[in-house]
Amino acid sequence: MGKPQNITLKEAAGLIQDGQQITFGGFTIWRRPMAFVYELIRQGKRNLHLLEVNGGTHSEILIGAGCVSIWESCWSGHELYGKLGEMVADRHVNGGMIVEDYSHGHMVARILAGAYGLPFFPSAQSLGTDLLNPEFDSLGRAGLRDGSHPKIPRKKYEFAPDPFYDRGELLLLPAANPDWAIFYASQVGEEGTVRVNVQTYADSEVIKAADKVIVLAEEIVPESYLRLEPEKNIAAGYAINYLIKLPWAAHPTGSQGFYDVDADFIRTFYRASKSQETFDRWADEWIFDIPDHERYLQKLGIGRLENIRANPVLGYSTRQKRGTR
């Protein structure tokens, strides 16, 4: 396998084919590979099957831009900065995208099964809910569970008995092995060793579960530095296929140790996401009218970036005003 191949953002986004299944690293509004999402949109990708442990600002933008035809996850929104995932909501209510709902624990089980090369993972979480209502199996209703789609399991879930301790039935959740994981990393070594700061979310599992992995690195650092504390690293270089060095690549989502969530940016996007028309205007301004990541940063401006820059000891911004006091 060897080391990851260095590549540009444009080249990397060009590798994703219409119709493929993709997933992302990060959590809600944290460590999302936003620069990559913008570039996917610029390149006009269509019919992506987005399967993710949870959604967030990145999903809303990608879905709003019409790139996604199937979304499997458990949640979309912007945390405090816009509670509803308006674009997921719009597609669910008005059509245009298949929404397949699982719980968070189910999605983690699916990615973990994929990471471990298992066909399923057991769970007793969320029994008795409408997540399990057979009438609400959206991919099944769409006729996509016939075994001819290699990334879509024949069933949404299965009940399994306990042959060992008579504990009764629990769920088996189908593995997820997306074609691509696109991943934002805090630091990557010269040979591809990956570190993420603070909470690790489902990041190590996402990398393993995907067939191929593209990493956007906030910074490239000496391998020997990362290898002094290997407890803090989540993947070796051989697990990564392509590597892009791109500072601020997670903006407006937060990257612990580098920058906080750009709350105002997300709030503004959230308001724009309440109709397709305002979304489209927002997308013109922040995606289509901007040729690349460097111009995006220029447009944001140094003041905005400095405001969210993390205090290096605490890992978060001590400048951004958060409340009323």
For residue 131, the partner it binds in a copy of itself, other proteins, none, with Cβ less than 5 to 8 A by kind, is other proteins
Segment near a copy of itself (CB under 8 A), from 86-94, 149-157, 214-222, 255-263?
Answer: 149-157
CB half-sphere exposure, 61, CA atoms < 13 A:
31
What's at 95, amino acid-wise?
G
CB 162: neighbour CB atoms within 10 A? 12
**152-191: contacts with a copy of itself (CB under 8 A):** 153-155, 158, 160, 162-167, 170, 172, 174-175
Q: How many other CB atoms are there within 10 angstroms of residue 40's CB atom?
A: 25
Give me 191's structure tokens.
Answer: 């040979």
- One of 144, 234, 283, 308 touching other proteins (CB under 8 A): 234
200 to 229: interface string for a copy of itself, x by CB under 8 A: -----------------------------x
Q: Does 122 bind a copy of itself (CB under 8 A)?
A: yes
60: helix, strand or coil: helix
Choose the one of other proteins, a copy of itself, none that binds residue 77, judging by a C-beta under 5 to 8 angstroms depending on kind.
Answer: other proteins
Regarding 29 and contact with other proteins (CB under 8 A), the answer is yes
Of 8-16, 43-51, 236-244, 283-291, the window that binds other proteins (rule: CB under 8 A) is 236-244
Contact between residue 166 and residue 176 where contact means Cβ atoms under 8 Å apart: no
Residue 148 makes contact with a copy of itself by CB under 8 A: no
Select the span of 24-32, 113-121, 132-140, 295-303 touching a copy of itself (CB under 8 A).
113-121
Can you list the pairs that 82-88 forms with residues at least 24 positions away whose Cβ atoms lie under 8 Å?
82/266, 82/267, 82/269, 82/270, 82/271, 82/273, 85/55, 85/59, 85/60, 86/60, 86/270, 86/273, 86/274, 87/59, 87/60, 87/61, 87/63, 87/273, 87/279, 88/55, 88/59, 88/60, 88/63
d(CA 60, CA 264): 16
Q: Residue 189, SS3? A: strand
Give min distance, CB of 175 to a copy of itself, in A: 7
Q: Which residue has the tokens 């724009």?
A: 272
Cis geometry, peptide bond prior to residue 33 (ω within 30 degrees of 0): no
Q: Which residue has the tokens 């791109």?
A: 246
The only residue of 199, 219, 291, 299 in contact with other proteins, by rule CB under 8 A: 199
Least distance between a copy of itself and beta carbon 229 (Å): 8
Structure tokens at 228: 């002094």
190 counts as binding other proteins under rule CB under 8 A: no
We find the least distance from the C-beta atom of residue 234 to other proteins, in angstroms, to be: 7
**Of residues 51-110, which lie at the interface with other proteins (CB under 8 A)?**
53-55, 73-77, 79-80, 83-85, 88-90, 92-93, 99, 101-106, 108-109
Residues near a copy of itself (CB under 8 A) are 117-124, 147, 150, 153-155, 158, 160, 162-167, 170, 172, 174-175, 229, 231-232
